[in-house]
Amino acid sequence: MLELRRYSDFSLFKRDVLPFLEQHEGENNLPLGVIMNMKPEQKPLYMGTVNKDGKLALVLLQTHPRQLILSKSLPFATEEIEEIAKKLYESYPNIPGMIGEKWLATALAEKIAKLQHRRVHIQMKQRIYALKKVKRPASKRGVLRPAQMSDMEMLCQWFIRFCEDVKLPTSAEEAAQAVQGAIANQQLYVWMIDEEPVSMARWARPTKTNVTIGWVYTPPEKRKNGYASDCVAALTQQLLDSGYKTASLYTDLDNPTSNKIYMEIGYEPVMDSMLLLFVKEETT
């Protein structure tokens, strides 16, 4: 028996789902990190759970305007996915898209798209990696330092280009706000060569034992020098030294270079993920 429950009380939702999500911190780094770092003035667009035979089986959360987050779930049969799709569509008919484990996100999106009379657009094929120990440390040729407000103009440009690379374009205003916040919170770092910033990375979404790395970007003219690898390795080691047991990150599966360098650092695949959007059927 499947039951979909929609929440309006964030505190109650958080209490009910945290133990389930924490069973797989690496795979659930996105929903778990979002929930644990929500500000009091923020209100999710959607909060829900699916119970299977009385046990929590799936967590649903939306804070971003474009996608509903699906947690790592218990197994579901094909007919159960169809039932979840119907219940979710009744509860939230205008789902814009979803991000979650490949098998579930793909199957659920296909069913919901039919109900919406839309089609599924694959925005990104992703892989989630997790690391417990850095296997290849950063080289000695450079140094990692926190980003500073004097880097603001350059890092805003880097962030805009990073967003273009991951097919999630942003405006100059949004970039400035995001970068300024990351600098203020000491989350954004740059890799320095001869006192020049050549690559960046940010940590975010800390949970009890895990932290996520993102915004990994090297400008085109500085690529193929291993700067991103050094930057990520150094930041990962710093985070582990500060007390986190694991670090995790998302990659674009269409970028084999980044997947290769992360595995060389010591990151191991834990789950394939899909970012899917619902778009209007093309008419002829």
Whether residue 253 sits in one domain with residue 138: yes
User: Hey, what are 128's tokens?
Assistant: 């989630």
User: Hey, what are 79's tokens?
Assistant: 């007919």
CATH code, domain carrying 149: 3.40.630.30
Whether residue 171 sits in one domain with residue 61: no
pTM: 0.91
Three-state SS at 36: helix
Whether residue 210 sits in one domain with residue 248: yes
**How far is residue 268's CA from residue 191's CA, in Å, rounded to a whole number?**
23
Question: Residue 155: CB partners within 8 Å, gap ≥ 6?
Answer: 147, 179, 183, 188, 190, 197, 200
Whether residue 188 sits in one domain with residue 94: no
The domain tally of the chain equals: 2
**How far is residue 180's CA from residue 31's CA, in Å, rounded to a whole number?**
24
Any domain includes 273:
no
Question: Residue 281: CB partners within 8 Å, gap ≥ 6?
Answer: 117, 118, 119
Any domain includes 196:
yes
Q: Burial code of 243-265, b = ≥16 C-beta within 10 A, e = fewer?
A: ebebbbbbbbeeeeebbebbbeb
**C-alpha to C-alpha distances, 38 to 31, 138, 201, nearest whole angstrom:** 11, 32, 22
Q: Measuring CA to CA, which residue among 65, 30, 15 is closest to residue 273?
A: 30
Which of 84, 105, 126 delimits the end of a domain? Answer: 126
User: Hey, what are 116's tokens?
Assistant: 């919406």
**How far is residue 136's CA from residue 258's CA, in Å, rounded to a whole number?**
15
Any domain includes 85:
yes
Whether residue 166 sits in one domain with residue 109: no
Q: Measuring CA to CA, which residue among 4, 69, 66 is closest to residue 33?
A: 69
Q: What is the reported pLDDT for 41?
A: 85
**C-alpha to C-alpha distances, 149 to 102, 176, 234, nearest whole angstrom:** 39, 11, 21
Which of 126, 143, 163 delimits the end of a domain? Answer: 126
Q: What is the reported pLDDT for 75?
A: 95
Whether residue 161 sits in one domain with residue 122: no
Any domain includes 257:
yes
Any domain includes 248:
yes
Q: Which residues constitute the domain of residue 17?
A: 2-126
Which of 101, 126, 151 delimits the end of a domain? Answer: 126
Q: What is the reported pLDDT for 167?
A: 81
Whether residue 229 sits in one domain with residue 152: yes
Q: What is the reported pLDDT for 117?
A: 95
Whether residue 190 sits in one domain with residue 161: yes
Whether residue 244 sits in one domain with residue 140: yes
Q: What is the reported pLDDT for 40?
A: 82
Q: What is the reported pLDDT for 168?
A: 82
Whether residue 249 sits in one domain with residue 141: yes
Tokens 């939306």: give the residue: 62
CATH code, domain carrying 60: 3.40.630
Residues of the chain with pLDDT under 50: 284
Tens digit of pLDDT for each residue in 27-80? 999 999 999 999 888 899 999 999 999 999 999 999 999 999 999 999 999 999
Any domain includes 270:
no
Any domain includes 278:
no
Three-state SS at 52: strand
Whether residue 157 sits in one domain with residue 82: no
Whether residue 118 sits in one domain with residue 97: yes
Any domain includes 73:
yes
